[in-house]
Amino acid sequence: MSIVWKIIWITAIAGVGGTGLGGVISTLFKKDSSRTVSLLLSFAAGVMVSIVCFDLLANAIEPSDGSSPQILLAIVGTLGGYLVISLLNWLIDRDTNHEVQHIDANHPKTADDLDELIHSDYYYTHKRRQSHPQLFVAGLVMAAAIALHNMPEGMVIGATFAGMAKGGILMATVIGLHNIPEGMAVAVPLISGGMNPAKAVLVTASSGAPTIIGAVLGYYLGTMGTTALALSLSFASGAMLYVVFGELLPEAILMWRSKVPAFATIVGMLLGILIIYQ
């Protein structure tokens, strides 16, 4: 099996399998699981921080061919990845937040529920209105939001594989873990809106498909040379840092307002370090 097909299969398990598993879990457990989801997001965020700081950026700065460190290039790539993903998120948020009734002056700007993070609350609002044109647009926006979150995650997997296969498998595992609660958030409003549970799980699983596209793109960019690999790794790092510090951690803390999510993040970071340097 070629490396590209290996990346596709591994990424499919992390993207499609992770979100699909979240969809299955949402059909089995009806009670509120905000605390469990908060811990899962915090833990995954901690592992991601370790991988980004001690693996991806380390390989971006110190090329494997022994050439001089590319610190400035890594900084530019990281800022670029962070800014591009934050801009795309802002564009989607601008068109969705004002249409959801609970978004007001007293509501946190940061999503405090998974439905808000991936805009399924926006979809569900239009679902209740029973307007087919509005529902179609809402579905497109929701799909775009999900793809937006999954594409950079796929790029991280692909770029990591371009630098080190072991790191790529580790990153795919962590991203698959973090996709489980995302899949739960996609499936719950669909099922609540009347969709057949089996169909909702299928739709939820398919929402992880953009991860595969991102992985292939990230891998090919990373194999175009030392400079391209450094840019690819640092861009993917910036994208993931935005996801971690701009979405996962704020959301996890708002879902469970205690010190426990912070502890889960530290545990995740330590486990990440242990896996990287074992």
Q: Return the domain boundaries, the chain.
A: 3-96+149-277
- Confidence class for position 95, pLDDT limits 50, 70, 90: low
Average pLDDT over residues 192-208: 78
Residue type, 169: I
pTM exceeds 0.85, yes or no? no
**What pLDDT is recorded for position 79?**
96
Provide CB contacts within 8 A for 2, sequence distance 6+.
none
Model confidence band, residue 223 (pLDDT cutoffs 50, 70, 90): confident
Q: What confidence tens digit (pLDDT) does each residue in 44-71 have?
A: 888 889 888 988 888 889 876 667 888 9
Residues present in the chain in total: 278
pLDDT at 41: 80
pLDDT on residue 59: 84
Q: Residue 262 CB: number of other CB atoms within 10 A? A: 14
pLDDT at position 11 is 92
